[in-house]
Amino acid sequence: MSITESKYHPTLDQLTSSVSALVPTLREKAAWSEEHRRIHDDSIQSLAEAGVFSLRMPLRYGGYESDTRTLVDVSIELGRADGALAWTMSTYWIASWIVGLFPDVVQDEVFSSPDTRVCGAVNPSGTVVPTDGGFVLNGAWHFVSGAQHANWQELATILLRPGAQPEPVIVVVPMSSLEIVDDWNTSGMAASGSVTTTAKDVFLPETHLIPMGAAIQPKGISELNAASTMWRSPTILAGSAATVGILVGMAKAARDSFFERMPSRPITYTDYEHQAEAPVTHILVATAVMKTEQAEYHAYHAAALVDAKAASGEEWTVEERARVRADEGWATRLSKEAVDLFASASGAHSIFKHEPIQRIVRDIQAISVHPMFNPDTNTETYGRVLCGLPPNTMFI
């Protein structure tokens, strides 16, 4: 019996259905997670049992090597439950995918457990220097989502060697070798626990370092993953397609929150005893739903392009790369606009902290200012390429 046929390893369709069924339970834990600035342990356990952490792990370790469309499916459902939780899961997917570029001996170590969780930091910081048998790592890395529940961290740093230019590299480090600085006090995405991690004279074997170019291209060192379509996509685009569904899910969560409250709400200071009877409500909700559906189109368009290029093995054009970034930006813009519309129609009582809509508003605002999601930046990049200019970023 193959792994995927085992009763302990559901199919991707079964996994997605399981996540959908978990939405009410995960949603119940969202307020606790925000207050404590970390995902609830019960939610982590439920998602582990559902197989969510295995989506971007190699097949030989019981993973799925999932396509990006499935990641959009799952991240939409997770976004319906809790945007910060969905964000954290997506960062685990991205970091696990990057580990799949490392030598196979490193993967044997990292993926020794089917529920391994790898957090990540892709902005180069700190330094790593050669020593006998490996390297020594020092520095600090910020915005490390999900560090409290991670077993490993992949991070970007600068390799310093005598007589050579500084070189950006990616390393993999066990969390037991790092310190967590509890500095994540934010207005949005609090539950993601995106703390700072630090390293002080941490020894790394030679195998635990690869050039940054090997990750960005990607040109992985792994021999056993070399033929897999999952590792054919540029890192930035694989990451974009893995995360874009979060925003759509959050817009759908705002819709759920609004319609749950609407039947009992009048419009104060008007003659409308039922909000559902007011034309202004009809216009707002119809507009918000249409924006959500448009955002969903962009999420799946990005996933379809990434999956198609991975399947064919064809080289990416600069315009195609920029289009994925543009899809991500427009999904963000439209989802945020939809959330804002539902929030504006939710009335004054919606600002109480026990109402989910206020958390959704703050969380989607926090994501929308992330440099990879910013709608204006992504649209500008696509426009530059359409006008025959080179993109003004390496993150494409």
CA atoms of 286 and 160, how far apart (whole Å) = 56
Q: Mind listing the pLDDT tens digit for each residue in 106-165? A: 999 999 887 899 999 988 999 999 999 999 999 999 999 999 999 999 999 999 999 999
366 within domain boundaries: yes
* Joined tokens for residue 120: 């990540």
Q: What share of the chain is helix, strand, coil (3-state, %, to 5)?
A: 55, 15, 30
The per-residue pLDDT for range 70-109, each reduced to its tens digit, is 999 999 999 999 999 999 999 999 999 999 999 999 999 9
Q: Evaluate whether residue 224 is within a structural domain.
A: no
Residues 174 and 249 in one domain: no
CA 127 to chain centre: 26
State whether 243 and 346 are in the same domain: yes
pLDDT of residue 8: 55
Instruction: Compute the average pLDDT of residues 342-365.
Output: 90
**391 lies in some domain:** no
Residue 371 and residue 288 share a domain:
yes
Same domain (yes/no): 288, 374: yes
Q: Is the pTM of this model over 0.85?
A: yes
Q: Is residue 225 part of a domain?
A: no
Per the domain annotation, does 218 fall within a domain?
no
φ, ψ of residue 57 in degrees (nearest 5): -105, 155
DSSP state of 391: P
Same-domain pairing of 270 and 301: yes
Q: What is the CATH number of the domain that holds 324?
A: 1.20.140.10
pLDDT tops 60 at residue 6: no
**How far apart are alpha carbons 360 and 335 in whole angstroms?**
11
The answer to whether residues 277 and 352 belong to one domain is yes
189 in the same domain as 326: no
Q: Does the residue 216 lie in any domain?
A: no
> Is 228 part of any domain?
no
Considering the domain architecture, whether residues 238 and 376 belong to the same structural domain is answered as yes
The domain in which residue 350 lies consists of: 233-386
C-alpha to C-alpha distance for 157 and 39, rounded to whole angstroms: 27
Contact present, 381 and 391 (Cβ < 8 Å): yes
> Which of 68, 90, 116 is the endpoint of a domain?
116
CATH label of the domain that carries residue 93: 1.10.540.10
How many domains does the chain contain in total?
A: 3
